[in-house]
Structures are given as C-alpha cells and as structure tokens.
Amino acid sequence: MLGRRKAQRSLFEAQTWPHPIPSDSFYARMAAVNEILFRDEDLAEMYCLDNGRPSEPPSLLSGVTLLQFYDNVSDEEAVERTRFDLRWKVALNLPLDFGGFDPSCLSYFRKRLVQPQEERYAFDRLITVGRTAGFLPDKVTLLTDTTWAKGAGAVQDTYTLIRKGVRKLLRQMGYALPSKRRGLAPEVQRLLATYLDQDRKANIDWTHPSQRVEQLKVLVHDAEATLELAAEQTDDAEVRSTGWLLTKILGDDVVTDEHGDPQLREGTAPDRILSVTEPDMRYGHKSKAFRFEGSKVEVATEPTSELIVDIADVPAPGSDGQYLAATVARVEQHAGVEVERVIADGAFGSGPNRAWCAEREPHPIDLVAPLAQPSDPSVHKSAFQIDLTAHQATCPQGHTVAGRAGPEEPGRSTWLFPFRREVCQACPLFTQCVHSQTTGRTVRTTPYENYLQTARRRQGTAEFQEIYRTRARVERKQAELVRHGIRRTRYVGQAKRQLQRLWTGAVVNLKRLFTLGQKAGQDLRALFAPAMRPAIAVATR
C-alpha cells in the first residue's frame, strides 16, 4: 500500500534546530525544495492505495535515491547516512531520531520504477522546471557525445561462459526442483549433477593444453545436449532467450577443426558475449588504444542553460553517432522542444546522419560535425572537383573524366570516375595518387556525396569554427557525471542501467538549476513550485 510522509512536523526535525550545514550547499538547497521536489502522489500508480502494509513513502525513497547518486554510495551506506549523517537529515527533512529502513527498500523501489517505466520520473521533472523557468528555450541546440561505462558483470572466459550458460538454461527449464528430476535418463542426471548441484570449474590442470582441449570437448557436448532438452520447451520465453544466449556463446567462441573437434576461435568475434550474468556487456573502443567492457553513455546538453536534456545507455560496439536520430526524438518528446542544431564530434558526422538532418521533416537540423582530415590532402578525394549534376570529375592537375553509375542504395545513386592510367602516369602526383598496378586512379562517390562536399567546404570557414568551439561544454558535463559515478554501472539489465544514467543526470541537473536560480536571484521554492503544480494536480485526480 502507498505509504505517505506525515504532514505534521516533528519537534526533532533536523531543519528546526541550529545546524552547521552551509546554506549554499547542495544539501541545504535540496532541503529548501524537498517538500515540492517529490510527492508521494506522483508515484501512486506503483502501489495499491487501499490494501496491504504501508510502504516507505516514495517521496522519501526518491530523495534518498537522488542523494545516493549525488554521493555515489551503496544502498547500505545510503540508509546509514539517513540515520547518522546530519547533511542527509537536513536535505530530506528527517527528524534527528530517524531510525532508517531496510536497504532492500531501495532495491524494491528501483524495481517498481522500471516496471511501469517511471525511471524518467526525476529527470523529466527537473527538465520541466528548466522549461517552466525559461532556462530551456523552445528551439534548442544539442551538444552531444558519448563516454564509456564499465559493466556490472564479470568478464568471463569461454569455459566459464559455457558452464554458466548450461547451468542457467537448466535452471530456466526447472530442473533445480526435486520434482522435475524424477525418472530422468542417466545422461540428464549427469548434467544436473555436474552443473546444478555444483558451480565450479573442472578439477584439471589448466596450464596443460591437452587437458584444456578435452575439457572444451566436454563442455561443448554438454551444451549441445542441454540445447536439445531446451528444444522441447520452446513455448517458454525465458528458456528460448537463454537457449539463444548459449547458442551465441558457442558460435562466438568455438570453431570446429578438420577432425570435427571443437577448438577456441582465434581472435574476438564481433558482438561477442562477455558475461552470462550481464549478457548486454560488450567490448567497446573510445580510441584504438583504449578498450573497455560494458556500454556507452550518450549525453546531450543544451549550451545556454548547460542542462542535460537527454542521457541514455547505448551498446558499446559501433559508431557513437548511430543513435543520433533516437536522441533527437527523445529530447523533443520529453522536453517539449524543437531541435534546430546538433553540435558533435566527427563520429556523428556520417553521410546518413547528414542526410537525415538535412531532409528531416518538417524542420531540418543543422548538423555541425567535422570530417576527418585526410593524411595527404593533395590527392584525397576532396582535392577533386566532382560535379554531381554533370557527372564529371576533375583531378588536381586539371584532367576531367566522365563518370559511370556505380552500385545504388535505395533512393540514392553512386558514381565512379575512372582516370586512364597513361594520363595518370604523366602526372607528378602519380606515385602518391595511384596505388593500382594496372589501372589509373578511380574516384568513387558515396550515396551522400553532396552532403559531405557541403560539410567539407563549410568546415574551413570561421563560422564553423566559432560554432564548433562550444562542443567542449558537453565534455565538462560528462566529467561532472563521472564524478558522480556514471562510469561504474551498479545494476544488471538495460532498464536499471538506464535508471542509473537518468538519476545521475537528474543530480547534475538539480545542481545546475540551483546555480541558475541563484544567478537569476530567484527563491528556490518559487523556482520549483510552478513546474510541480501541474504534475501534482494530475497525480491527485
């Protein structure tokens, strides 16, 4: 049942007594708006209203969760601070003799938030404050970038992945129950004894190659036998999901030699599973030299207010810019604004992104993102004058050739411009420009060549440099998120990972709103109250 905070003030409430908490600290400022920042009625749909034992008030749990991400502490430490830390008592309007609650309440609260998809609760409320106060305009520019986050699961080797996968699949099929084990074949009984009744690696000499090979054969055989059992329960969604996971592990990590024996794959398969505990974890790269295991966090800020308007957990592999359209859609949906410009690094400046922004209806987006600088500009494709209307290309030495149609993509065409070898051989740039042993230089266009040409011309202007200079602000905001623990993923599962990203973003936005309100000379309660009233009215109807 929905628990509520008592409206009656306590004689021992921390705020009513003299305390040394600075008035300009985050805790004191949060205390000033705590009563209107979160209301029990806002999350009433997560609880039964007329039956059961009253819960811990969701307004209190929301405040504790916010402070938990602000101070980057565990559930147990968060509860301890509600009992013993005067700063937390002041921020949460708690009495000095507050006895705390069980840490599991925070875990159940997060579970309740993600089930009705209320993980955006705190983040969206603070965006509403920024919009109502006029800090966020109707038309916005987005500064966007990604940073890496280490996953919550342990990175496991192939042997452990297969063993854990078999164990998980057998448990999903219900074989952990004694009643399910009656009358099973001896081979199935062996599987259960090996993978369910114990959970440890085989007792072999792991430094001996031949013993490792034999153990791999045993694991692959047992995995295939378990998958055959699972094929009889395809109506169970969890069994199908875990069966797919085990099948992918075998496909990623194991190959068959010429004798039909399983062997470990050389190298790393694309999109390889790293952990049975956290199947979403992947290898990712922020540079050629830096590899991480986990996911990425995409952050979008608005430059004038420096508020985070979107933060999302995205997969580690692939280009940073592949989720640009989804980011813009979320910002416009949840913040109620129109995105008119995006400023980002080169990973976002792909041809498809530029085409999507330019052709977007009803309002195109101005994408400001640099293109990579060529290693040898004198012979790079950008040094050629390509006329896409006349289908002609002119090389840096003034030779012009006609083009022919290349492979087509849906709705878009490409062109090839081949230069004769005898013409190229007479050119002083021949050795730099031509790498073929038999033909001359061939210039190939992409389906988005016109957008790339326009972007490269613009990149050399002072106007571009002036606009692009503001992108550094999103990196400062990422650094602030890192200080609050964004790179240490706490939870398993995409929904709870996203909850962590959003609530950490809410912490950073709350700090920023305090600063903006102070600069504007506004009383904090007067700043927050107008934005909260509509939400409160809807929740209480």
Euclidean distance between CA atoms 214 and 218, whole angstroms: 6
- Which residues of the chain fall short of a pLDDT of 70? 7-12, 16-17, 533-541
CA 357 from chain centre, in angstroms, equals 22
Range list of H helices, 196-236: 209-230
- For residue 66, is it within any domain? yes
Tell whether 414 and 536 lie within a shared domain.
Answer: no
Domain count, the chain: 4
The last residue of one of the domains, among 264, 294, 327, is: 264
- Strands 366-368, 338-343: pairing is parallel
- Residues shown for the chain: 541
For 288, residues 6+ apart whose C-beta sits below 8 A from its C-beta are none
For residue 204, which amino acid is it? I
Tell whether 75 and 196 lie within a shared domain.
Answer: no
Per residue in 359-382, is it b (16+ CB within 10 Å) or e — as a string? eeeeeebebbbbeeeeeeeebebb
Tell whether 30 and 67 lie within a shared domain.
Answer: yes
- For residue 72, is it within any domain? yes
- For residue 379, is it within any domain? no
pLDDT at position 321, please? 94
Tell whether 120 and 196 lie within a shared domain.
Answer: no
The last residue of one of the domains, among 231, 264, 297, is: 264
- For residue 279, is it within any domain? no
pLDDT at position 533, please? 57
pLDDT at position 310, please? 98
Tell whether 408 and 473 lie within a shared domain.
Answer: no
Joined together, the tokens standing for residue 483 give: 């200080």
- For residue 53, is it within any domain? yes
Tell whether 472 and 355 lie within a shared domain.
Answer: yes
At what angle are helices 449-459 and 351-359 packed, to 10 degrees? 90
* Per-residue three-class SS string for 249-270: HHHHHEEECCCCCEEECCCCCC
What stretch of H or E contains 243? helix 237-253
Tell whether 19 and 134 lie within a shared domain.
Answer: yes
pLDDT at position 407, please? 85
Tell whether 63 and 173 lie within a shared domain.
Answer: no
Tell whether 85 and 208 lie within a shared domain.
Answer: no
pLDDT at position 403, please? 93
- For residue 29, is it within any domain? yes
Whether a cis peptide bond, with omega within 30° of 0, leads into 362 is yes
Euclidean distance between CA atoms 80 and 201, whole angstroms: 38
Per residue in 416-428, is it b (16+ CB within 10 Å) or e — as a string? ebbbebeebeebe
Domain hosting residue 45, numbered range: 14-138+499-540
pLDDT at position 538, please? 36
- For residue 490, is it within any domain? no
Q: Do residues 313 and 501 lie in contact, with contact meaning Cβ atoms separated by under 8 Å?
A: yes
**452-487 confidence digits (pLDDT tens):** 999 999 999 999 999 999 999 999 999 999 999 999
pLDDT at position 297, please? 97
Residue 313 burial (CB < 10 Å; 0-12/13-18/19+)? buried
Joined together, the tokens standing for residue 525 give: 């309660």
- For residue 378, is it within any domain? no
Tell whether 51 and 113 lie within a shared domain.
Answer: yes
Tell whether 47 and 99 lie within a shared domain.
Answer: yes
pLDDT at position 35, please? 87
Q: Do residues 146 and 314 lie in contact, with contact meaning Cβ atoms separated by under 8 Å?
A: yes
Tell whether 365 and 302 lie within a shared domain.
Answer: yes
